[in-house]
Amino acid sequence: MRAFEATQIYFERAAEKLELDPGISQMLEMPKREVQVQVTVERDNGELVNYVGFRVQHDNSRGPMKGGLRYHPEVNLDEVRALASLMTWKTAVVDLPYGGAKGGIGVDPNELSVRELERLTRAFVDQIHDIVGPDTDIPAPDMGTDYRVMGWFRNQWEKYHGFHPAVITGKPVEEYGAKGREEATGRGVGLLTVKLCKRIARKPPETRVAIQGFGNVGSHAAKFLHEAEFPVVAVSDVSGTYYDADGLNIPDLFRHKLHHPRGLLEGYSHCEVLPMQALLSLPGVDVLIPAALGGVIREDNVDEIQASVIVEGANGPVWPDADLELERRGITVLPDILANAGGVTVSYFEWVQNRQHYRWSLDRVRQELDRTMSDAFENVWQTAQQFDVSLRTAAFMIGINRVRRANELAGWHRSGG
């Protein structure tokens, strides 16, 4: 199955419940604009390499479009289209005044030097600078990109358009970034995991957590849950699965990752080390948090899942057939468009601060993040109860309905930008 097809299936399940008119449904599903560009970089040894870059702008009926930039070898138009669409529903579920977009380059950033990565980012900006901007489309970090990439992006864009730090979020904190942006997605995942567990009467010391991916999202979710006294018994990255039935020492793993040249857990020896794939099906795990790639829980491996709760830190980790099976087995899934919305929420706070030339304290960022995520969670939970649907369908219903309403108020005229 392809990523956009999966997103469409989730959209259609919710559209059916909302009894959406087919014309409106089609209008909301179809991306507004898709751009594909050539990105040529000179390697440090003088060799020229060419990559393909994308920016898909899905919808702007509720505000400027917003979505991350992904650097990964498997980035392709279909995946970027799916992720752009998810951003539209995500910003609507948490009620941010934004639409949805996504971008990326089909490249393995680990194969490039820091200077090559910078040249790649600047070359990409040269190709797309005229379609992004603080009032039109605002990129942010995603897999394979970080605050440095955001800083280079802003600097290159400003060469064309002048001073506008709000053109991109996730910037270095000392260069107009927001305090708390880096931790925000993982923190939001942690916050809602705690909320969900409370709602279904699961207490921290007896609720064992496993997290796939120990990058930005996975590591901060692990930290938050560890501090909330949930035993995090397993985490994984491309180097393997790290397991301790009594709970891992997360601060120690954090330190190890910080000192590894590629930010991996490779070489960590204070626990059991299992193959990378083992994480999804570990026995005795209550909460599973996929926080790496999309499409990892599918029809062919869904039967191996032993957890009773899944919190989607990654975008699109569960394919629709597997999702139905999980629902049939009574496994609660907190969907990506709600669970990992903490990143875009703090990106919104960063954008607001940039526009006001004002800085918030870390406490204020955390408080507002907590409030935004909690409100959205309550709304999704109530909708799921009211319509007797899964949390995913409820989240899609809320998102779709808000975007539909914005279009209705605009007299069904799609705006430019």
Active site residues: 102
Out of 57, 91, 169, 216, the only residue in the binding site for ligand NAD (CB under 6 A) is: 216
CB of 181 to ligand NAD, least distance (A): 8
| Backbone dihedral region for residue 237 (phi beyond 0: left; psi -120 to 50: alpha; all else: beta) | beta
Asked if 314 touches ligand NAD (CB under 6 A), the answer is yes
Q: Please say which residue, 18 or 278, places its beta carbon nearer to ligand NAD.
A: 278
Alpha carbon distance 181, 37 (integer Å): 29
Asked if 315 touches ligand NAD (CB under 6 A), the answer is yes
- Structural contact between residues 222 and 253, judged by C-beta atoms closer than 8 angstroms: yes
| C-alpha Rg value of the chain to the nearest Å | 20
Q: Please say which residue, 16 or 304, places its beta carbon nearer to ligand NAD.
A: 304
Residue type, 256: H
Residue 368: half-sphere exposure toward Cβ, Cα within 13 Å? 20
Residues in the interface with ligand NAD (CB under 6 A) total 25
CB of 397 to ligand NAD, least distance (A): 21
Give me the helices (H) in 129-262, please.
Answer: 147-161, 181-199, 216-227, 250-259
Which x/- pattern, by CB under 6 A, does the window 252-291 give for ligand NAD? Answer: ------------------------x--------------x
Asked if 190 touches ligand NAD (CB under 6 A), the answer is no
- Structural contact between residues 192 and 221, judged by C-beta atoms closer than 8 angstroms: no
The residue whose Cβ lies closest to ligand NAD is 215
Q: Which of 340, 362, 371 is nearest to 218 (CA)?
A: 340
Q: Tell me the pairing of strands 48-59 and 287-290.
A: unpaired
- Structural contact between residues 315 and 83, judged by C-beta atoms closer than 8 angstroms: yes
Asked if 188 touches ligand NAD (CB under 6 A), the answer is no
Out of 212, 332, 353, 393, the only residue in the binding site for ligand NAD (CB under 6 A) is: 212
Q: Please say which residue, 64 or 342, places its beta carbon nearer to ligand NAD.
A: 342
Asked if 100 touches ligand NAD (CB under 6 A), the answer is no
Strands (E), 74-150: 99-106, 137-141
Q: Please say which residue, 216 or 407, places its beta carbon nearer to ligand NAD.
A: 216
Alpha carbon distance 133, 302 (integer Å): 41
Asked if 335 touches ligand NAD (CB under 6 A), the answer is no
Q: Please say which residue, 180 or 343, places its beta carbon nearer to ligand NAD.
A: 343
Asked if 214 touches ligand NAD (CB under 6 A), the answer is yes
Alpha carbon distance 274, 48 (integer Å): 39
**Segment interacting with ligand NAD (CB under 6 A) among 19-27, 142-150, 193-201, 372-380:** 142-150
Asked if 343 touches ligand NAD (CB under 6 A), the answer is yes
The C-alpha angle with vertex 95 and arms to 296 and 191, in degrees rounded to 5, equals 55
CB of 301 to ligand NAD, least distance (A): 12
Q: Which of 25, 27, 21, 31 is nearest to 11 (CA)?
A: 25
List contacts with ligand NAD (CB under 6 A). Answer: 141-144, 185, 212-218, 236-238, 276, 291-294, 313-315, 340, 343
